[in-house]
Amino acid sequence: MQDSMASLSVSPAAAGGSCFAHVQQAPEDPILGITVAFNKDPSPVKVNLGVGAYRTEDGKPLLLNVVRQAELHLVSDESRNKEYLGITGIVHFNKLSAQLILGSDSPAIAENRVVTAQCLSGTGSLRVGGEFLGRHYSGQKIIYVPSPTWGNHLKIFPLAGLEARTYRYYDPRTKGLDYEGMLEDLRAAPNGSILLLHACAHNPTGVDPSQEQWEGIRRVVREEKQFLPFFDCAYQGFASGSLDNDAWAVRRFVGDGGEVFVAQSYAKNMGLYAERVGALSIIVKEPAVATRVESQLKLVIRPMYSTPPTHGASIVTLILSSKKWFEEWKEELKAMADRIRSMRHELFNALKERQTPGNWEHILNQIGMFTFTGLSKEQVEYMRREDHIYMTLDGRISMAGLNSRTVPQVADAIHRAVVKFS
């Protein structure tokens, strides 16, 4: 008995060590890690162009006035409580979110073919949608995402049970859309696959298809390959300044009667980053299918986070349901989009004045928060080391992180890096 007891292994915890001593140090998130490095930099002239959040001309985070008003209204409403929401969240929020992205006159909404669930911003909406597809999609459980794409896409979908593959999207030679390469890759993909599309303001490139190109993509998706399109819509209204223009592609795909998934986020366009407010809408062909889909969607959400939080979604609901606040929101949204566009022009003009080698027209042609500069990893690291300018290693910069004071500094740094490594 003593011999057999002696042969039993002793756990690290029993021996005074940690059960997790074998755990390796993980690398910093490639995007969030930029802010960590930026915060550690003692330089008084450092500039953070990596963060995917809006900044004012003073370089400060912005709380929209309409959001502040809605929040004050909620706080003063003594009838409110902190009871659990239903599994799919605030019913009115879901209805208004679907109308915002699909249009208030959408036949799919009128015909009860839309299932919407309040989720944890865009990331949570993508994850819930991915989990549902991993369990229930009858086609190929393969999702094709653009190359490049937001880095989290390649983490979310495999964890949700889908195989992630890429298709050509960005052409580094033209710093624009590789339209022919994209269509070639889509035609080579298995029929019935899932296709991840950025609704507008493609992250990280800022390169969007034209409406004519969107129509060509739609024909391949619907007529040739029978793909299921899954739109990631993180920037509605924030890209062009128009909610309707930025929803054009989604509405075109829904308008042809086919099935569509859409993940929405209110982080950027309402500045509700920390509130984690988003929605997943699933558009199907028949109302009876929608009812069954909703029942199974609840079974995905319930063991994941049970029910969503109420505060941020209540703010969105108030703004979208009030004509006065909705109009004010659109004005503030357009002002943010306009400031970003003005930064594009200022940076382009500054590089032109310095006669920086290369063609920088893509800064003006790209859209939304980000610009894919074309700078190499070597140039990016040089700018961080020598000029304290922080951006992702692929050369993506947040235009919202620029202001009139820092544009000359950034342009000088880009010029030096390009000249040194050209």
Residue in the block written with tokens 């920037």: 235
Among candidate residues 232, 325, 329, 387, the one labeled active-site is 232
Q: Which pLDDT value is given to residue 13?
A: 58
Among residues 150, 325, 329, 360, the one annotated as catalytic is 150
Task: Domains for the chain: give ranges and CATH numbers.
Answer: 28-62+338-421 (3.90.1150.10), 84-321 (3.40.640.10)
Neighbours of 80 (CB within 10 A): 12
Query: How far is residue 253's CA from residue 239's CA, in Å, rounded to a whole number?
Result: 19
**What is the mean pLDDT of each successive set of 10 residues along the chain, which is 422 residues long?**
51 74 88 85 93 89 96 94 96 98 97 98 98 97 97 96 97 95 98 98 96 98 97 95 97 97 97 97 98 98 97 98 97 96 97 96 95 95 95 93 96 96 86
* C-alpha span between 265 and 236 (Å, rounded): 8
- Strand 277-283, strand 260-265: pairing: antiparallel
- In 3-state terms, what secondary structure has residue 5? helix
Looking at residue 36, its pLDDT comes to 86
Active-site residue identified among 141, 225, 268, 360 = 268
CA gap 24, 181 in Å, rounded: 39
Residue 150 bears catalytic tag: yes
pTM of the model: 0.93
Beta bridge partners of 370: 398
pLDDT of residue 10: 54
The pLDDT of residue 123 is 97
Cβ neighbourhood burial of 354 (10 Å; 0-12, 13-18, 19+): middle
Q: How far apart are CA 56 and CA 340, in angstroms?
A: 10
Q: How far apart are CA 278 and CA 225, in angstroms?
A: 29
